[in-house]
Amino acid sequence: MSAIISIKNLSKTYAGGFQALKHVDLDIRRGEIFALLGPNGAGKTTLISIICGLVNPTTGSVTVDGSDIVKDYRRVRAMIGLVPQELTTDHFETVFNAVAFSRGLFGKAPNPAYIEKILKSLSLWEKKDSRIMTLSGGMKRRLLIAKALSHEPTVLFLDEPTAGVDVELRKDMWQVVRDLRATGVTIILTTHYLEEAEEMADRVGVITRGELILVEDKAELMRKLGKKQLILQLDAALTALPERLSGYDLELSPDGKQLTFTYDTRAGRTGITTLLNDMRDAGIGFVDLDTTQSSLEDIFVDLVRSNR
Amino acid sequence: MNLYAVKAIYSFEMSRAVRTLMQSIVSPVLSTSLYFIVFGAAIGTRIAEIDGIAYGAFIVPGLIMLQLLTQSISNAAFGIYFPRFTGTIYELLSAPVSPLEIVLGFVGAAATKSIVLGLIILATAALFVDLHIAHPIWMLTFLVLTAITFSLFGFIIGIWADGFEKLQIIPLLIITPLTFLGGTFYSIDMLPPFWQKVTLFNPVVYLVSGFRWSFFGVSDVNIYASLGATVGFLLLSLLIVWRIFKTGYRLKT
């Protein structure tokens, strides 16, 4: 798949000396959902802001669909929609006018039918004549998405799109994002909700302290870095682990009826077979078993910790 | 050129003026009418003619200029400051618009509002005093040039300001005093010789004088000096705006 955004050696040092980005190289593939994960202050918003023209880079270059973001800013920006992190809206304007304004600002001829379609898809049509100040937080968030989509962008940046949004609405938004991807829009989202990245992203980038420490297909990332756990329900409670099982990464539940074995899927041998053999030899039986895989959240926390 | 963007910004700003009609039009017209009543009808009748012009009529160009300067500055300053304050400026900065288009939208709208206001005040003045305009084309030229120049100046203030107080400081503490001391209510010939010389350093003198000349054919300073001062300030403001966008001052980090 070809790259629609190509970032080369991008660095940003703010006036106070804070280095927000350090030599970032990244290609975003056309049509994918790319999740950029990182703790607060990692450089996610700076990266997005540079691509969208809000922040000047210190060094490096970015091209969008082959056009440089500085030299050919008109073409680049016309392709990009941005949903900012903060709920920044003009309180006194009506919903419809605010979206129509955005469309005009991005150089598109008025198209009330298209705006109606967007507002309906985001469940905002009923509020089209309402002033923005009367909307709930979730509605304002959807309005920002409507504004970003008003000029039919091919690349959409969502900076913490579901921050402060309730669970139900969050799932609605995920659906909106999936529908957009289905129309060919490339989506880059930053999020604190790892569940969001896990749910939606095709690829994941992890950024911390201005450095992109990992870019990987989500499924591959979870396969590579994911740890699994084997949970055994014992047929009889144990008071302590037998000596012969001390070499395994085992945890006995307080009631002594559940044994949890953590293993690495990347290892050549997981140790499950020998564990079960040793348990049989020790006279420990089990009535049920289950396996669980670590979430993207666990992986993310491990990665960021290991980079400290 | 992204004309849709210029139109979007212009229309947005104009609709804001309509939403705030009391503040944009009614309030300045009312305060100017009060000036006419007090200085024109009440006190003006006891003041001798100046350069052969009744005092009530003499102050009309100065009063229009007073409102034109303050309203141009405040309209343009608020227009660009408000999106900076609320954060909606992100949309403007991420849009495919050039600095020229942004300035055309904001300054064009602010100047339009001021020109409309100036014409309304002129019509209001005609209700109180007997007015005839000697050079109507020049009158409109000064009106439009001054509105654009001071809207540009207001735009600069709106970008420079980092709080509502700063937004008001220049119009209140500098422009209004300079306008009052710039011959709004008197001819500078009425000042002692020393102060006549000092007052020539006040740029507003040139604006009021040129504008008054277009009404009555008499002026405190040469008409070309007035025109030169206005165009000079316009070019200076354009240069500063160009630098602002070139450096991203207070807009980009």
Nearest in space to B159 (alpha carbons), one of B241, B87, B93, B99: B241
Q: Report whether A154 contacts A184 (CB < 8 A).
A: yes
- The number of residues in chain B equals 253
- By Cβ distance, the residue of B4, B86, B93 closest to A104 is B4
pLDDT in tens, A189-211: 987 677 777 788 999 998 888 99
A181 is written with which tokens?
């991807």
A62: left (phi over 0), alpha (psi -120 to 50) or beta: beta
- Residue A199 has a pLDDT of 82
Cα gap A233→A6, rounded to integer Å:
51
Q: Rounded to two decimals, what is the model's pTM? A: 0.81
Report, as ranges of residue numbers, the positions in chain B whose pLDDT lies below 50: none
- Residue A83 has a pLDDT of 92
Contact between chains at B5 and A106 (C-beta distance less than 8 A): yes
- Residue A224 has a pLDDT of 64
Residue B246 to chain A, least CA–CA distance (Å): 12
- By Cβ distance, the residue of B16, B92, B252 closest to A56 is B252
In whole angstroms, how far apart are CA B19 and each of A291, B12, B81, B82, B247? 63, 10, 18, 15, 34
Interface residue B250 vs chain A (CB under 8 A): no
Query: Which residues in chain B have Cβ-Cβ distances shorter than 8 Å to A15?
Result: 253
ipTM of the complex model: 0.85
pLDDT at A1 exceeding the cut of 70: no
Cα gap B236→B154, rounded to integer Å:
13
Q: What single-letter amino acid sits at B197?
A: K
Contact between chains at B96 and A82 (C-beta distance less than 8 A): no
- Residue A30 has a pLDDT of 94
The residue among A91 and A293 whose pLDDT is bigger is A91
Q: Is A8 exposed, middle or buried (0-12, 13-18, 19+ CB in 10 A)?
A: middle
DSSP A245: G
Query: Which residues in chain B have Cβ-Cβ distances shorter than 8 Å to A88?
Result: 86-88, 90
Q: Determine the residue among B2, B91, B98, B252 to mutate to test chain A binding: the one whose Cβ has the most chain A Cβ atoms within 10 Å.
A: B91
- Residue B149 has a pLDDT of 92
- Residue A307 has a pLDDT of 65
Contact between chains at A15 and B95 (C-beta distance less than 8 A): no
A199 is written with which tokens?
């749910």
- Work out the average pLDDT over A3-18: 92
Query: Which residues in chain B have Cβ-Cβ distances shorter than 8 Å to A143?
Result: none
- Work out the average pLDDT over A72-101: 91
Q: Which sign, positive or negative, has the C-alpha torsion A282, A284, A285, A289?
A: negative
- Residue B140 has a pLDDT of 94
pLDDT at A186 exceeding the cut of 90: yes
Does the domain spanning A227-306 belong to CATH 2.20.28?
A: no
- Work out the average pLDDT over A248-272: 84
Chain A nearest-CA residue for B93: A54
pLDDT band per the 50, 70, 90 thresholds, residue A172: confident
B165 C-beta neighbours (distance < 10 Å), count: 9
Query: Which residues in chain A have Cβ-Cβ distances shorter than 8 Å to B97?
Result: 105, 107
Cα gap A270→A180, rounded to integer Å:
41
- Residue A208 has a pLDDT of 85
- Residue A6 has a pLDDT of 95
pLDDT at A5 exceeding the cut of 90: yes
- β-pairing, A67-68 vs A59-64, is antiparallel
- By Cβ distance, the residue of B11, B15, B90 closest to A84 is B90
Q: CATH fold of A3-223, please?
A: Rossmann fold (3.40.50)
Instruction: Please name the helix (run of DSSP H) or strand (run of DSSP E) that holds residue B118, with its range, or none.
Output: helix B99-128
- Residue B181 has a pLDDT of 86
Strand, helix or coil for residue B49: coil
**Domain ranges across chain A:** 3-223, 227-306
- Work out the average pLDDT over A294-306: 68
Interface residue B252 vs chain A (CB under 8 A): yes
Contact between chains at B96 and A97 (C-beta distance less than 8 A): no
Nearest in space to B64 (alpha carbons), one of B12, B133, B17: B133
Q: Report whether B52 contacts B95 (CB < 8 A).
A: no
Residue B173 to chain A, least CA–CA distance (Å): 30
How many CA atoms lie less than 13 Å away from A251 in the CB half-sphere? 9
Contact between chains at B8 and A109 (C-beta distance less than 8 A): no
pLDDT in tens, A211-244: 998 898 988 777 666 677 889 999 989 888 888 8
Interface residue B23 vs chain A (CB under 8 A): no
pLDDT in tens, A17-26: 899 999 999 9
The CA-to-CA distance between both ends of chain B, in Å, stands at 26
Strand partners, A81: A156
Interface residue B18 vs chain A (CB under 8 A): no
Interface residue B247 vs chain A (CB under 8 A): no
Return all residues near B188 (Cβ < 8 A) that are at least 6 apart.
B196, B199, B200, B205, B209, B220
**Domain ranges across chain B:** 3-247
Interface residue B246 vs chain A (CB under 8 A): no
pLDDT in tens, A43-77: 998 999 999 999 999 999 999 999 999 999 999 99
Q: In what side-by-side order are the strands of the sheet with A258-264?
A: A250-252, A258-264, A227-234, A286-293
pLDDT in tens, A108-162: 999 999 999 999 988 899 999 999 999 988 888 889 999 999 999 999 999 888 7
Cα gap B67→B74, rounded to integer Å:
10
Residue B105 to chain A, least CA–CA distance (Å): 10
Q: Report whether A286 contacts A257 (CB < 8 A).
A: no
Interface residue B127 vs chain A (CB under 8 A): no
The residue among A114 and A40 whose pLDDT is bigger is A114
pLDDT at A267 exceeding the cut of 70: no
In whole angstroms, how far apart are CA A84 and each of A55, A142, A147, B88? 13, 11, 11, 10
Own/partner pairs for B221-228, CB < 8 Å, 24+ apart? B223/B138, B226/B142, B227/B142
Strand partners, A185: none
Query: Which residues in chain B have Cβ-Cβ distances shorter than 8 Å to A102?
Result: 91
Query: Which residues in chain A have Cβ-Cβ distances shorter than 8 Å to B8?
Result: 100-101, 103-105
